[in-house]
């Protein structure tokens, strides 16, 4: 009976530690989409990169919530296109820096450091980092794909 009691008491003592550990792991998880104030890609219309070939400011009154972030659009047409197929227009790696993800970590991005490769949008921390990323785009994408989404942990 002592052995059973010891097992029970030890198990009960471990519950708060296990709960705290789970909380700490959860608290350290990075969100799936890079945002500032809940707004994805600094309020830039993700569809604009594809349709206009440049970053286009989104309108705060034309939004769509997807994957834990609010996305802004320059037109209702762009919002509807995104809403019907967000995977086509959303930046790769949740809008985190493609170079950073290829290196195994996450970093913020700026809307001006971008490139569409094989129909997919990639963003970078800065134009300087984008230049480094562009030195080996296939290698960087392969490394980024291998690291994503485990870099969010």
Per-residue pLDDT of the chain (153 residues; tens, 9 = 90+): 444 444 444 444 444 444 433 333 344 589 999 999 999 999 999 999 999 999 999 999 999 999 999 999 999 999 999 999 999 999 999 999 999 999 999 999 999 999 999 999 999 999 999 999 999 999 999 999 999 999 999
Domain ranges of the chain: 1-30, 35-152
Structure tokens at 82: 């995104």
At 29 the pLDDT is 82
pLDDT at residue 126 in the model? 98
Percent of the chain with pLDDT over 90: 80
d(CA 92, CA 128): 19
Task: For 70-103, give the secondary structure using H, E and C.
Answer: EEEECCHHHHHHHHHCHHHHCCHHHHCCHHHHHH
């Amino acid at each position: 009976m002592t052995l059973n009691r010891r097992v029970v008491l030890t198990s009960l003592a471990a519950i708060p530690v296990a709960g705290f550990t789970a909380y700490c792991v959860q608290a350290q998880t990075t969100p799936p989409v890079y945002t500032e104030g809940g707004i994805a890609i600094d309020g830039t219309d993700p569809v604009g990169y594809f349709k206009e070939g440049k970053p286009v400011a989104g309108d705060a009154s034309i939004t769509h919530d997807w994957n834990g972030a609010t996305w802004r659009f320059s037109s209702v047409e762009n919002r509807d296109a995104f809403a019907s197929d967000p995977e086509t227009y959303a930046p790769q790696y949740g809008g985190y820096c493609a170079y950073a993800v290829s290196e195994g970590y996450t970093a913020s991005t700026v809307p001006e450091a971008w490139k569409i490769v094989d129909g997919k949008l990639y963003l970078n921390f800065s134009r300087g980092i984008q230049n480094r990323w562009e030195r080996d785009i296939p290698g960087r994408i392969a490394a980024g794909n291998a690291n994503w989404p485990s870099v969010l942990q």
